[in-house]
Amino acid sequence: MERFDLEKLENAIIYVERIAEGKNPVNNTIADSDDVMNDPIIIRSMFFIKDVLVELKNNNGIIGKSKGSKKKEFPIETLSDFQYVEVKTITRLTEQLNSGIDETVYKKLSYRPITDWLKRNGYLIETEDTRLGKKVTFTTEKAQAVGITHSLQTSMSGNSYYRVVYDKNGQEFVVRNLPSML
């Protein structure tokens, strides 16, 4: 991957545009009618070159793709090695699942697709809590039946919030359904 100086790139765009318009690139004066800069083939070529340089500029001066190949999706096969450790939040569960992958090769698993799936399928519900005066996420009876529960907690700063946790059954439920969630 090579990066070009954006200032030089901007100047090149100006000069190529002047040639494309049939002008002297240095002093910006109209070229003589018999000048090579007025040849239709040269003009079309210069407009093409200008378009390429503008795209390069829009890509921050970078030609081609970044080094290395695109990361692969999270490897579902690693889930067969999952072992329950303790009750935890979805953030801690995804951290545990990510600890078994090579992050230079694979994309890390995010908690968002999991919680979105759980909401779409009636395990979690997002609602306005009038007592706390903010939007909160609760578990439903359906979620509690599979080991996903919530409880009211107080932070070190004294703020109340609902904490959703996954016990052994809840974590195994997520791991079993992860292919559908992704």
Residues 28-72: tens digit of each pLDDT: 888 787 787 777 788 888 888 988 888 888 777 777 655 555 788
Positions of the chain with pLDDT under 70: 1-2, 64-69
pLDDT at 129: 86
Beta-bridge partners for 139 = 124
Residue 67 exposed, middle or buried by CB count within 10 Å (0-12, 13-18, 19+): exposed
Contact present, 166 and 175 (Cβ < 8 Å): no
Structure tokens at 58: 């829009």
* DSSP category for residue 78: G
* DSSP category for residue 36: G
Q: CA 55 to CA 51: how far, in whole Å?
A: 6
